[in-house]
Amino acid sequence: MNREEIRALALKKLLQVAPDINPGELDPKTPIRDQYDFDSMDFLNFTIALGREFQMDIPEKDYVAIQSLDGAVEYLAQHIEGSAEEN
Amino acid sequence: MSEFRLPSLGADMKDATLREWFVEPGDTVTKGDSIAAVETDKGIIDIEVFESGTVKEILVQPDEKVPVGTVLATIRSGGKTQGHAEPRKAGVSEDKQAPPEDMPRALNIQPPPGGERKRISPAARKRARELSVDPENIVGTGPGGAVTLEDVASSAGPAAPTGTVAGTAEKQAEAAASSMRRAIAAAVVRSNREIPHYYLSTSIDLTPALTWLEQQNAERPLPLRLVYAILLLKAVAGALQKVPEMNGFFMDDAAQVKDDVHVGVAISLRSGGLLVPTLRDVHRKNPDELMAEFSDLVNRARSGHLRGSELQDATITVTSLGEQGVDTVFPIIYPPQLAIVGFGSIVERVRPVNRAPQVRRVINASLAADHRASDGHRGALFLAEIDRLLQEPERL
């Protein structure tokens, strides 16, 4: 899975959790909660959706790495490399 | 035969606009199914049927605005299909075997012209329409091959929510936001006019609760992790067992204290305004059950799919503005309730522990209570009890 595919999937999950976010306005570099009223429950739901989609556990201590869309894509890319090759 | 009427979804509600039917004449409905969406001052809300049976006639069409109590449809009691519903029997037979609780919203089955009918939940069907996707072309992954909301989203792809669809949704959101603003205005004006508030605040050391939570979450898979708000809700419900006069309503010139704790949880919407859905029986549920319900409520509040019954019956409200970075909230009671509890942000503060300074994580809890029903002394006891309970998070 390449980064563009990961990004597309991650964005899709974000929009499921927060359907009222306009993806055209989202700054991928800035933490989502600094741009929108994105509370800890939204964040957890987003993390759960990512965990399901990419079939991985994301420990709480890694939450800091996935605060922005770019951060999430980078984190996911690093953590799914092994399984991606198997597919 | 029974009449399906527009329910009152709050003391201030006078009318609502029918937005969508999830059923059509001949469809079988089960008590508790959401069968229509109406737009009220609180936003778009799914309303439930309170009797099982078959939809006989639909009397109010989409976009009609009608007063509370209007008969929207007639329901033939008993759940048996009759008349022209008969030919559908083969297609819906799987439904009858499945327990209705498993997929309460998947009852609406749209017959495609002349062919086998696709199973699709009402929410998924609505989303499919918004995204201009034909449900017939979607492979369903739900029970019995039903098309779920997720299937619709997957088939639409991530780019779908932009463009003209988003434009229409924005306009609807704007209209809903302004009517919600009016409803909030009505509630707070009544609150400030009628309720003599008193306010108390205390700062609570949340370090033990957060440490416990982090240990719990480290051992839990993602979907079972808890957010700290759950512990706050449990502590409020626990404290109400000791100081019950904060829980209930002030009506007919008297406080009506309630035993059951139904907590209204204020959820702010990114499009503006807020919704206060109810978490029922918080005192009886464990943190895991509450977490699952809370997560579901937040999700549906965000997507505009709360049921009418979920906005009713709260006996107290909890509001947490901590995530916006304020230390202390000075909340306004949601009438006719007796009290509201506010939590600010979690901040690090140097505090004495065993006479030595330590950096602790601290939260300010505040209480606004109705002075007609209780006095400050009881309010202080209530906040102290919340504090005490949060020092033993494993017992919540």
- CATH number of the domain within which B23 lies: 2.40.50.100
Q: What is the pLDDT of residue B9?
A: 75
- Give the whole-number percent of chain A exceeding pLDDT 70: 92
Q: How far apart are CA B53 and CA B232, in angstroms?
A: 41
For residues B135 and B223, membership in a common domain is answered with no
Does some domain include residue B250?
A: yes
pLDDT for res B248: 97
Domain interval for residue B132: 2-156
* Contact residues, chain A, for B266 at CB < 8 Å: none
Indicate the pairing of strand B53-58 with strand B71-77. antiparallel
B321 and A CB contact within 8 Å: no
- Is residue B90 a part of any domain in this protein? yes
Nearest C-alpha in B relative to A56? B222
Task: Please give the model's pTM, rounded to 2 decimal places.
Answer: 0.69
Q: Is the pLDDT of residue B82 over 70?
A: no
Q: How far is CA B358 from CA B214, B294, B352, B354, B362, in A?
A: 19, 33, 6, 9, 12
Nearest CA in chain B to A13: B158
Which residues does chain A have within 8 Å of residue B158's beta carbon, measured at their own beta carbons? 8-9, 11-12, 15, 23
Regarding whether B221 and B96 lie in a shared domain, the answer is: no
What is the model's pLDDT at position B278? Answer: 95
Does the CB of A60 have a partner CB in chain B at under 8 Å? Answer: yes
Contacts with A, B 148-207, CB within 8 Å: 150, 153-154, 157-159, 161-162, 166, 173
A47: nearest CA partner in chain B: B222
In a domain, B179, yes or no: no
Q: Is the pLDDT of residue B51 over 90?
A: no
Q: Does some domain include residue B356?
A: yes
For residues A66 and A11, give the distance between their C-alpha atoms in angstroms, rounded to a whole number: 12
Percent of chain A with pLDDT over 90: 57
Rounded mean pLDDT of chain A?
Answer: 87
How many domains are contained in chain B? Answer: 2
The yes-or-no verdict on residue B214 having pLDDT over 70 is: yes
B115 with B244, same domain: the answer is no
Residue B171 domain-assigned?
A: no
Q: Are both B267 and B328 inside the same structural domain?
A: yes
pLDDT value, residue B72: 94
pLDDT at residue B276 greater than cutoff 50 = yes
Residue of A nearest to B293 (CA): A41
Verify that B135 and B247 share a domain, yes or no. no
Query: Which of B81-85, B104-108, B222-226, B335-339 ranks highest by mean pLDDT?
Result: B335-339
pLDDT recorded at residue B44:
73
Residue B280 belongs to some domain of the structure = yes
Q: Count CB pairs under 8 A between chains A and B.
A: 75
Q: Verify whether the Cβ–Cβ distance B229 to A60 is below 8 Å.
A: no
Distance from CA of B90 to the nearest CA of A (A): 34
Last residue of a domain, one of B102, B128, B156: B156
Ordered DSSP codes for B294-352 = HHHHHHHHHHT-EEGGGGS--SEEEEE-GGGT-S-------TTBSEEEEEEEEEEEEEE
Determine the residue type at A23. P
Give chain B positions within 8 Å (CB) of A40. 227-229, 323
**Helix%, strand%, coil% for chain B, nearest 5:** 35, 30, 35
The CATH code of the domain that includes B299 is 3.30.559.10
Last residue of a domain, one of B156, B185, B210: B156
What does the alpha-carbon distance between residue B275 and residue B5 come to, in Å, rounded to a whole number?
Answer: 23
**What percentage of chain B has pLDDT greater than the value 70?**
73
Binary contact (B303, A12; C-beta < 8 A): no
Residue B313, pLDDT above cutoff 70: yes
Q: Chain A partners of B269 at a C-beta cutoff of 8 Å?
A: 20, 37
Q: How many CB atoms are closer than 10 A to CB B145?
A: 12
- pLDDT, tens only, B111-131: 233 334 456 666 667 666 666
The verdict on A25 touching B (C-beta cutoff 8 Å) is no
Residue B10: what pLDDT? Answer: 67
* A chain contacts of residue B303, beta-carbon cutoff 8 Å: 19
**Whether pLDDT at A77 is above 60:** yes
Check A57 against B173: CB less than 8 A apart.
Answer: no
Same-domain status, B152 and B239: no
Rounded to an integer, what distance in angstroms lies between the CA atom of residue B392 and that of residue B57? 56
Whether the per-residue pLDDT at B2 is higher than 80: the answer is yes
Grade residue B89 by pLDDT with cuts at 50, 70 and 90: very low
Residue ranges per structural domain of chain A: 3-86
In a domain, B186, yes or no: no
Q: How many Å apart are CA B227 and CA A44, to the nearest integer?
A: 8
Residues in chain B closer than 8 A to A69 (CB atoms): none
Please name the residue ranges forming H helices in A1-87.
Answer: 3-17, 32-35, 40-53, 69-86
Q: d(Cα B377, Cα B238) in Å, to the nearest integer?
A: 18
- Once rounded to an integer, what is the mean pLDDT over residues B305-312? 85
If asked whether residues B92 and B210 sit together in one domain, one would say no
Low-confidence winner among B42-46, B102-106, B183-187, B209-213 (lowest mean pLDDT): B102-106
Is the domain of B277 the same as that of B343?
yes
Q: Chain A closest CA to B175's CA: distance in Å?
A: 15
Q: Considering the domain A3-86 in this protein, what is its CATH number?
A: 1.10.1200.10
